[in-house]
Structures are given as structure tokens and as C-alpha cells.
Amino acid sequence: MSAELNLNVMFSQRGHLTLAHSDAALRTMRWRAEVNVLEGVDSRVIDAGEVKALVPSLDVSPRTAHPILGALYHPPGGIIRHDAVVWGYGRAAAALGVELHQETEVSDILVAGGDGPDGKGPGGRVTGVRTSRGDINAPVVVNCAAGWASIVAAMAGVALPITTTPLQAAVTEPVKVFLSAVVVSGSLHVYVSQTDRGELVFGAAVDPVATYSTRGSLEFVEGLAGNILQLMPGIARVRLLRQWAGLCDMTPDYSPVMGRTPVDGFFVDVGWGTYGFKAGPVSGEQLAACIATGRAPALIAAFDLARFTEDRLVGEKGAAAVGTDAAGRLPSLRPPGRRGLSLLGRDQPAARPRGHHRPGVANLPAPACQRGRLAAGDLVLPSLPPARRAGAQHTLTNEFREPVVDPRGAVE
Ligand SMILES: Cc1cc2nc3c(=O)[nH]c(=O)nc-3n(C[C@H](O)[C@H](O)[C@H](O)COP(=O)(O)OP(=O)(O)OC[C@H]3O[C@@H](n4cnc5c(N)ncnc54)[C@H](O)[C@@H]3O)c2cc1C
């Protein structure tokens, strides 16, 4: 990619470990390794001794609450500088004659002949976009607005089954490089890697509330610290430098939505949630082919919008080992009995996420599936099964969580 884009995207292949904390998880890892090998991917299950040899800072002793029994090891895995990739693509696209309009907000999608108000909606045909810098005629419009996807789709009269949920990450002060691999624990809902500058980069599961706020929360840092220190007690005195959040476009089946919509000429490439970066290049190619040929290529055909009305969901929760929490709870693994902060706790106003729209989209209609305008302080429960919904207070409380059930039936 660096050669093709003529830009150093700082790709560092350093190995990727998904830790197994139980026999059941180890079984799942073995199964995943077999599938990977069948697909030609270099990956295998390693035992705790090999894990320790690769990452000496991990505590693989049996005395921990969640002992590391082994891992799924993927040697070609690594990290890449996402901003460098985006700059590389931007520059290459511009060189090919693509016009990029920065700081230009789309405020409306122009549609004619549709069944809905103003000629929008199913049966209509897209004619252009209205932007903060004027109207642009266009026979084809692609919605790839990720966390804002449902707002943009609503401008064309198209409803998307997408909710918007923040995903937080954090980074420490730089320390001497000691961590050579990317380490992920699906059970503890954390991942960690170290940049070439020495900062440790952490992430966890999506926040348990659907909101457009990108404010960091104390719960996230607390849960993260508790979980990561179970894996690497030696980093207890390393200080966090900053934390941030981005907006993830979550679908009911955790799979993206790609292809046509009921409005002719209006395409979507959305719903990537927590794992859309790595899928960017191929999904762009596939959607371009879909637009050029008028037919969805085989690779993306199953991910069409119609699957939600035709009962053809594509369960893809496994695509993000950490980014989603099956229970929709804060992913902290505290010792039982020690209750954490509640997002609704009256004594913790600083920890309450504030619902706020990004400047520029504040006055746009809320998407159909995220009804009602979010006002400051609003909390919206994520889509949960009815049984979980009944325990809503529970859902928003940072406390000991149940084991995560792998979509394929195994329990981690
Ligand atoms: C903390 C965090 C960690 C992540 N880690 C990973 C990872 O390790 N691997 C991975 O694969 N993925 C990861 N992801 C997910 C990944 O970042 C996203 O899936 C991906 O960036 C989505 O790309 P996109 O191009 O679809 O949308 P985005 O990059 O979100 O771009 C959407 C753009 O649309 C613009 N927009 C919105 N509304 C309008 C409007 N009305 N008019 C004009 N423009 C508009 C926005 O400003 C934005 O620039 C992570 C996400 C977060 C938040």
C-alpha cells in the first residue's frame, strides 16, 4: 500500500494474539485457526508458555482471576497509521482527478419521484446533494457517513436500521518499547498495542448507550484499567495521556450495509461499526463495481439493505473481538460484589454522557431507528434483547458481567 500510494503508511507487522482464558475459549480458538488455515491465513493456537515468550509482560500465572491458557496467534497481524492511510488515499484520488471538498456539509439529498414527502423515499431517483457551499447535481450519491449514516439516509427518505454508539480508546505516555505484538482479550474486552513512539494504545467495547456524544467517560477508563492490569500488572504506574471516542454505526446483525437502496442512484456503504478501517479498501472497490455494473458483486451481495426486511441477517459479531459486548454492558470485569459507577448515578454528573450532535448536523431530522432528537443528558439504551431491556438499570451499571457467548455457540 505504501508503494501504491507513495506514502509511508507505517505498517508494522508484529503479530496479533487473541487470548484464551478458558477451555471453551481455547476450543473456539482452535476452530478459528483451522478456518483461517483453510482460507490460507497464517494462524495457529499457542500455549501459555509461547504467549509468555512472545509477550513477557503478560501475566500467564494460574493465580489470576482470568488465567491466560493460550492464544490464537496470527503472525502477519499488525498496526498501521490510519491518518497516513487516509492522506495517502486522498492524495492518490486527487491525482486521479477526484475533487475532494473539505469542510463541506451535506444538508440534504435531492430526490424526485419518490413515494414520501417532497418526492423523497422509495421509488424516487436521486438528482443531487445540497451542501453548505451550494447544490451539486449528481445521478449517483453514496452515503458513507458512518456514525451519521442514518441521518444522511433520512435526507433521502431512506430508513437505515443503524444506531450510533461511541467507541472509546486511550493512549499512555510514551515508555520504552517493550510490547512487540498486538494483544486482544475478547473476554476482558480490551486490546493493547504499542506505537513506535512508545505509547500504549488501548481500546475496549463500544459504550453501552446510543448517543452522538464523543465525550470520554470515567467508566471507560476505570473498566479499561481494571481489565488491562489483570493482563499486565507491570504497567500499573504508566500514566494515561488522553482518551477519545469516535462514533460507530451499529447494525442489528453487526454486519455492514452495502449496495443499492429503494431510492434509485442512492447507494450506501455503512454499518461498519467498530471494524470498518480494515475493510475500507475492499468495500470501496466492491461498491464502485456495484455502481459501475448496476449489480452487487458476489462478495457484497448478502450485505444489501433488503436483508433486514427479508429476514436474511448476516451475523458478524466475531469480526470485532473486542468492539461489541454481547450483553450491551460496560465490559468491566470487577470482582463480584464490587459495584462500579452507574451512568445514571446522581452523584456522578461528570460521568454522564452528554448527547450532542456534531456542529452542522444538530438541526437535521433524527434517523427513524433513533427516534427523537437527543438532548443534552439524554441516554438511549442500545438495542438489547427484551430480557436485557427489562433490567435496564442493570445494563447501565458497571459491574461483574456474565461470560460472553460466542456467536458460534462457544463461551469465552
Ligand atoms: C476508537 C476507535 C477504534 C477503532 N479501531 C478500529 C480498528 O482497529 N480496526 C478497524 O478496522 N476499525 C476500527 N474502528 C472503526 C473504524 O474507524 C470505522 O469503521 C471507519 O473509520 C469507518 O470509515 P468510514 O469511511 O465509513 O467513515 P468515517 O471515517 O467515520 O467517515 C465518515 C465521514 O462522513 C462525514 N460526514 C458525516 N455527516 C456528513 C454530512 N452531513 N456532510 C458531509 N460529511 C459528513 C464525517 O465528518 C466523516 O468524515 C475504530 C473506531 C473507533 C472509534
Q: Is 365 in the pocket of ligand 1 (CB under 6 A)?
A: no
What separation in Å is there between the alpha carbon of 145 and the centre of ligand 1?
Answer: 7
The fraction of the chain above a pLDDT of 90, given in percent, is 76
Q: Is 11 in the pocket of ligand 1 (CB under 6 A)?
A: no
The 10s digit of each residue's pLDDT in 106-141 is 999 999 999 999 999 999 999 999 999 999 999 999
**Confidence at residue 369, expressed as pLDDT on a 0 to 100 scale:** 41
216 or 364: which leads in pLDDT? 216
What separation in Å is there between the alpha carbon of 280 and the centre of ligand 1?
Answer: 10
Residue 320: is its pLDDT beyond 90?
no
What separation in Å is there between the alpha carbon of 51 and the centre of ligand 1?
Answer: 32
Alpha carbons 45 and 185: distance in angstroms, whole number: 14
What separation in Å is there between the alpha carbon of 274 and the centre of ligand 1?
Answer: 9
C-alpha cell at 322: 473486542
DSSP 8-state symbol, 264:
B
Identify the residue whose C-alpha is closest to ligand 1 atom 8: 275
Q: Is 254 in the pocket of ligand 1 (CB under 6 A)?
A: no
Residue 249: is its pLDDT beyond 70?
yes
Q: Is 203 in the pocket of ligand 1 (CB under 6 A)?
A: yes
Give, in order, the Cα–Cα distances in Å from 122 to each of 97, 104, 146, 162: 33, 27, 22, 18
Residue 375: is its pLDDT beyond 80?
no
What separation in Å is there between the alpha carbon of 23 and the centre of ligand 1?
Answer: 36
Alpha carbons 304 and 224: distance in angstroms, whole number: 35
- For residue 152, give the ligand 1 atom closest to its CA: 41
**Confidence at residue 325, expressed as pLDDT on a 0 to 100 scale:** 56
The fraction of the chain above a pLDDT of 70, given in percent, is 77
Q: Could you give the 3-state DSSP secondary structure of residue 269?
A: strand
Compute how many other C-beta atoms are within 10 angstroms of the C-beta atom of residue 347. Answer: 7
Residue 276: is its pLDDT beyond 80?
yes
Q: Is 169 in the pocket of ligand 1 (CB under 6 A)?
A: yes
What separation in Å is there between the alpha carbon of 146 and the centre of ligand 1?
Answer: 5
In sequence order, the 6+-apart residues with CB closer than 8 A to the CB of 38 are none
C-alpha cell at 188: 476482558
Give, in order, the Cα–Cα distances in Å from 160 to each of 50, 293, 300, 306, 320: 45, 24, 17, 10, 21
Give, in order, the Cα–Cα distances in Å from 263 to each of 72, 108, 259, 260, 368: 44, 14, 11, 8, 16
What separation in Å is there between the alpha carbon of 247 and the centre of ligand 1?
Answer: 7
What separation in Å is there between the alpha carbon of 189 and the centre of ligand 1?
Answer: 21
From 193, 213, 269, 277, mutation site for ligand 1 pocket: most ligand atoms within 8 A of C-beta:
277
From 103, 221, 272, mutation site for ligand 1 pocket: most ligand atoms within 8 A of C-beta:
272
Order of strands, edge to edge, in the sheet holding 106-112? Answer: 106-112, 125-131, 134-137
Alpha carbons 82 and 78: distance in angstroms, whole number: 12
- For residue 168, give the ligand 1 atom closest to its CA: 1
**Confidence at residue 398, expressed as pLDDT on a 0 to 100 scale:** 26
Identify the residue whose C-alpha is closest to ligand 1 atom 12: 275
The 10s digit of each residue's pLDDT in 139-168 is 999 999 999 999 999 999 999 999 999 999
Domains and CATH numbers, the chain: 102-412 (3.30.9.10)
What separation in Å is there between the alpha carbon of 276 and the centre of ligand 1?
Answer: 7
Q: Is 377 in the pocket of ligand 1 (CB under 6 A)?
A: no
Q: Is 108 in the pocket of ligand 1 (CB under 6 A)?
A: no
For residues 265-283, give the mean pLDDT. 96
Q: Which band of pLDDT confidence, cut at 50, 70 and 90, is reported for residue 315?
A: confident
SS (H, E, C) 272-301: CCCCHHHHHHHHHHHHHHHHHHCCCCHHHH
